[in-house]
Structures are given as C-alpha cells and as structure tokens.
Amino acid sequence: MAYMMRRLLWTLPIMLGVLTLVFFLIHMIPGDPVELMLGEYALPADRELMREQLGLNRPIPLQYAEYLKNTLSGDLGQSLPNRRPVTAMILERLPATLELMLGAMAVAVGLALPLGILAAVFHGRWPDQAASVFAVLGVAIPNFWLGPLLVLVFSIQFDWLPVNERGGLEHLVLPAITLGTSLAALLSRMTRTSLVEVLGEDYIRAARAKGLNRRRVILVHALRNALIPIITIAGLQIGVLLSGAIITESIFDWPGIGSLLLEGIYQRDFPLVQGCVLFIATSYVLINLATDIIYGWVDPRIRQS
Amino acid sequence: MSVSARRLWVLGMLLGIAFLFPALFAPWLAPHDPLALDLAGALAPPGAAHPLGQDEQGADILSRLLYGARISLLVGTAAVSVSAAIGILAGLVAGYLGGWVEQLLMRLVDVLLAFPGLLLAIALVAVLGPGLTNVVIALSALGWTGFARLVRGQVLTVKSQDYILAAQALGVGDGRMMRVHIFPNVMAPVMVQASFAIAGAILSEASLSFLGLGAPPGTPSWGAMLSEGKHVLSEAPHVSIFPGLAIMGVVLGFNLLGDALNDYFDPKRHKTSAPGS
C-alpha cells in the first residue's frame, strides 16, 4: 500500500509538469499564434475574436489557471475549424487506436515468445543467431518503410489483404504488423536473455535431475519466472506504441488519435494539437504508473526497494 | 574485445563508412543534379543512366539518396552534439552539486520523458514550423535528457572515489573538479549513448520528414523521399525501396557501433564473454 501511495504521489508532479508544458506549447509559437492559425491576411476583427476565444488576450497566469481548471474537468477546448469539443473528437477516435495497439501487442507477443524461447533453448546455435538477426533488423527497420513494403507485397502483388480503411480483422493485420515489429524484436531479445538466465538457475537443474521432461521444465518452470521482466517491459512499451501509432495511422489512413493529431497540425488547429498531445502523454504516464504498481504487486522485492 | 564485439564493430564501421563517404562527397559522386527535374522520365525504373531509377518528378534517385545522406548526417550530428553538450553539463552539475539543483534538473528530465517517443518532437515542430533547424531544436529538446540521466548516474559513482576525495582535500574548485577530474571519467558511456542517439536522431528526422514536418518540400531527405514514394507504390516501388534501405542501413550501423562500444567499454561483459561467442 505504501509503495502504491509513493508511486501515486510521484506521478502527481510529473502530471502537473506535462500539463504545464502542453499549456506553454501555444506560447512557443514564434510571432503571433493567431496570425499563424488564421493567416496573415485575416481581418483584425477575426483576429481579436480568436484571441478572445482562445483566451490569449488575458494575462498568462489567468490563462494557465483557467486551462488547469478546464483540463481537470475534462474540457480540452474546441477545435477551430469545426467548433467541436476536442475531448469528444479524441474519444471518437480512441477505439481505432486501441484496436491498433491491441493488434500490435498481439503481433509482438505472438512473434517474440516463440522466437525468444527457441533462441534460449538453442543458445549459441543457428536458431539463436536467426532470432538475433530478426531482433537487430526489427529494431532498425523504420515502420514508415515496413508499412509500405507490406502493402506492396500483401496488398498490391498478392492481393491477399486489404489496405486503408478500418474494417474487419483482415484490415488490422498489416497496420498491426507494422506497429508491432520493433516491439517484437525488443521482446524476443528480452525473452531470450531472461530465459537463458533462468535456465542456468539451480532449481531448473534440480527439476531436470528429478527426471522431469525438458519441455515441461522450459515451459512451466523456467518460462513462468522468465516472464516477469518481459511483462513489465511489454507494459511500459504500451505507451511507446501509442506514439508509434501516429506514423502507422498516417501510413494506413487509420482513423485514430495519431491521425487526428496530424490533421490538427496540418490545419493549424492548435487546441486540437494540444488536446491530442496532452491525451497521449497523460495516457503514457498512467500506463507506466499502472505497470509499476502491477509489477510491485507481483514482485515483492520491488515494493520493498 | 571479444570476437562477436569485433564482428559487430567491423560491420558497424562498414555501414558507417558507407554512409559517411557519400554524405561527405555527394557533389563528386552524384551522377545528376538531385534537384533537376525530368518529367519525361518520371517514375522510370532503374537503368544505365539512372542506376536506381527516377522519382515522380523525374529526379535521379541515386543522386537524391547521396545528397540525402548529407541531410541525415547533418541533422543527426547536430541534434546529438547539442543534446550531448546540454545533457553532459546538466548531468555533471546535477550529480556533483546535488541538492535542489539536482532535484530541479532531474524532475525536468522526468517531465520531458513523460512524452513517449516522437510525440514531443512532433508537438514542437508543429508549433515552431517545419524545417531542418526546427527539427534539430525539437530533437535536442528531448535528446539531452538521456545524456543528463546517464552522466548524473556516472558522476554519483565517480565522486565517491578516493582520487576525487583527495582532489577535494587539496582544495580543487568545483568547476575544475567537474572539468578535469570527473568529465573524462564519464566519457565512455557517453560515447556509447551518442552512437545510439545518432541512429535515433536520423530515424526521427526521417520520421518527421515522412510526416511532412521536417525537410521542406523538394529537399532530398530520405524520409521525404519515402513519403513521396508511398503515393506511387504500385507503379514504381523503387521510389520507396532505396531510401528505406538507406535509412535501415544507417540506423543498423550506428546501433551496431553502439553495441560494440558498449561491449568494449564494459569490463564486466568483457570478462564474461566467452571467446567465439
């Protein structure tokens, strides 16, 4: 309980820092932000109206206080072109991003566990080396290249999978592989390292000496313990997937929060940009908090450290 | 250095040279002007006159790749130099002075690291406007945090060593202590980090340019080339394939160099790595 409270208290100043930084984003615009949003030929009356709407004509401490009050009550402001609440726009797009992240996580774990186990069991032999090559390439391959390559092969050449637009499971396959590959590479290395370490422990040797079969020792006795750090890393990477989704969504015209952020940037809709950045960063902090708390709950050594 | 580290080092060096050489000598190596347009030859596949083919505007892809290496090198080294300079200074000051200075700097690092991956860079470029200078600013604004954390950790270890205590007893001032006695002893991990950071910065620049937030239109940036190639994927896949290979090769090269340097500088891994492993 004390660990959980400590971790929660630690998160509060970070959240305040994130809120503050996002607030100042609009003030970092060189020159007049209203001119950037409306263009240099906008009428003075329109400029004044927008300044009023965004609250930019008030002193900065007042703007900040109001921003904090509104944000904490879930009001992220209004989008400039269509006057819709930013919070509603984000919530509309959230399911698509969650679907993509879940798909990517399934791809990552589905590839990483078998590869990592094979690499650890055949430590130093060709399956290990093949898994190493996958891991090294998987981290280096940019997802904005992998995505178009997958489209080229599986959609254009073979016409096996659809591209663009969200729909059934078959629409999710290519975006999920694009987003999940680098995580699969990272997790396969983690699985290998963790499992090689556990396989060298005395209790594994004792289990083998008792005559238990090799498969059972690896899958039941060793993997269960080797999985703890892997689950933690996977948890921490959920937030990274959230930012990786920005590029993946732009490749596949996937209607998620990443696409919404980019639409905001291209249309110079700064309330929308601020809202999306704040939402993604806050989700990242909260996911990390949840992962830490779960890790502490699973492993008492973390709670006591 | 173990055999595996030596292999990684050699492969990383080869990929690094394959990147640096065209970046430095692009004007002499490029067969065509990277900005010259030839609409009659638009999307032409690889051939004798254009070994890697032509893009949508008929520009020579090989020449654009060679000049693109310059942009990647420039942005990568500039962003990492600025990040390293700020990060090393912040880490030295935080680790050596401790107290409220350390608290303030490290909490700022925590806040910046609360923005996952590219998000903060995207947000900063969105407000500052596209362009390579703003890309360097955006990448450095986040990049220094990794160096600061690393150096602070190293300083905390180094400053309790006997030779530092001896120097303090001799009355060496704080500035000189950090500059002469501590800084050289924390450089090894900084070099490892710099190698990974260059790979990361090159990938980030390409990502931002792919999204239309980096290099201005028409600039031969690898990310922008990939973005242009995306629209003509079915009729001219070569427009996308070569810039992607270039980015992957460079990122792989700097990552391998980082791994090899890590292996070389880490005495623990040094001793435990079996020969031939």
Residues of A in contact with B229 (CB under 8 A): 148
3-state SS class at B207: helix
**Sole residue written with tokens 């500039």:** B78
Kindly determine whether residue A148 and residue B240, on different chains, have CB atoms separated by under 8 Å. Answer: yes
* A244 → closest Cβ in B117, B230, B247: B117
Residues of A in contact with B246 (CB under 8 A): none
The domain spanning residue B146 has which CATH number?
1.10.3720.10
Q: Quote the pLDDT of residue A44.
A: 85
Are A270 and A35 in contact by the 8 Å Cβ rule? The answer is no
Measured distance CA(B171)–CA(B187) in Å, rounded: 24
Interface test with chain A among B104, B112, B115, B259, by most A beta carbons within 10 Å: B115
Query: B8, B121, B17, B130: which is closest to B69 by C-alpha?
Result: B17
* B234 → closest Cβ in A17, A156, A270: A156
Output the pTM of the full model.
Answer: 0.89
pLDDT tens column, B216-225: 888 899 999 9
- Judge whether residue B23 has pLDDT over 80: yes
pLDDT tens column, A126-168: 989 899 889 989 988 999 999 999 999 999 999 898 877 777 8
Residues of B in contact with A13 (CB under 8 A): 107
Residue B276's pLDDT band, with cuts at 50, 70 and 90, is very low
Residue A72's pLDDT band, with cuts at 50, 70 and 90, is very high
* A246 → closest Cβ in B115, B122, B252: B122
Residues of A in contact with B230 (CB under 8 A): 148, 251
* Residue at A107: amino acid letter: V
Q: Quote the pLDDT of residue A38.
A: 79
pLDDT tens column, A161-185: 887 777 788 899 999 999 999 999 9
Q: Quote the pLDDT of residue A227.
A: 81
Q: How many structural domains does chain B have? A: 1
| B150 is a domain residue | yes
Q: How many CB atoms lie within 10 A of CB B129?
A: 13
User: b or e along A203-227 (b: 16 or more beta carbons within 10 Å of the residue's beta carbon)?
Assistant: ebeebeeeeeeeeebbeebbbeebb
* Domains of chain A, residue spans: 34-75, 91-304
Q: Quote the pLDDT of residue B168.
A: 85
Q: Which residue has the higher pLDDT, A202 or B52?
A: B52
| B42 is a domain residue | no
Residue B201's pLDDT band, with cuts at 50, 70 and 90, is very high
User: Where are any strands of DSSP class E within chain A?
Assistant: none
Interface test with chain B among A14, A35, A125, A265, by most B beta carbons within 10 Å: A265
Query: Which tokens belong to A303?
Result: 């709670």
Q: How many CB atoms lie within 10 A of CB A171?
A: 19
> What residues 246-275 of chain B have any CB closer than 8 A to a CB of chain A?
247-248, 251-252, 255-256
Query: A268, A284, A273: which is closest to A236 by C-alpha?
Result: A284
Kindly determine whether residue A148 and residue B226, on different chains, have CB atoms separated by under 8 Å. Answer: yes
Q: Which architecture, in CATH terms, is A91-304?
A: Orthogonal Bundle (1.10)
The length of chain A in residues reads 305
Q: In chain A, pLDDT over 90 holds for what percent of residues?
A: 45
Kindly determine whether residue B116 and residue A243, on different chains, have CB atoms separated by under 8 Å. Answer: yes
Q: Quote the pLDDT of residue B271.
A: 46
- Could you report how far apart the first and last alpha carbons of chain A are, in Å? 14
Q: How many CB atoms lie within 10 A of CB A6?
A: 12
Residues of B in contact with A280 (CB under 8 A): 115-116, 119
Beta bridge partners of residue B60, listed in sequence order: B54
Are B84 and B192 in contact by the 8 Å Cβ rule? The answer is no
Measured distance CA(A277)–CA(A282) in Å, rounded: 8
Work out the mean pLDDT of chain A and round it to a whole number.
88
Point out the least confidently predicted range of A11-25, A63-77, B2-16: B2-16
Domain containing B76 equals: 61-272
Give ipTM to 2 decimals. Answer: 0.88
Q: Please give the residue of chain A at the shortest CA–CA distance from B233.
A: A152
pLDDT tens column, B62-116: 999 999 999 999 999 999 999 999 999 999 999 999 899 999 999 999 999 888 8
Work out the average pLDDT over B116-131: 90
- Judge whether residue B34 has pLDDT over 80: yes
DSSP letters for A50-99:
HHHHHTTTS-HHHHHHHHHHHHHTT---B-TTT--BHHHHHHHHHHHHHH
Given CB atoms, is A293 within the 8 Å cutoff of chain B? no
Residues of A in contact with B108 (CB under 8 A): 17
Q: How many CA atoms lie within 13 A of B255 on its CB side?
A: 17
Q: Quote the pLDDT of residue A305.
A: 59
pLDDT tens column, A227-274: 877 887 888 788 889 888 999 999 999 999 999 999 999 988 889 999
Long-range Cβ contact pairs of A205-213 (< 8 A, separation 24 or more): none
- Judge whether residue B268 has pLDDT over 80: no
| B2 is a domain residue | no
* A273 → closest Cβ in B126, B203, B237: B126
3-state SS class at B54: strand
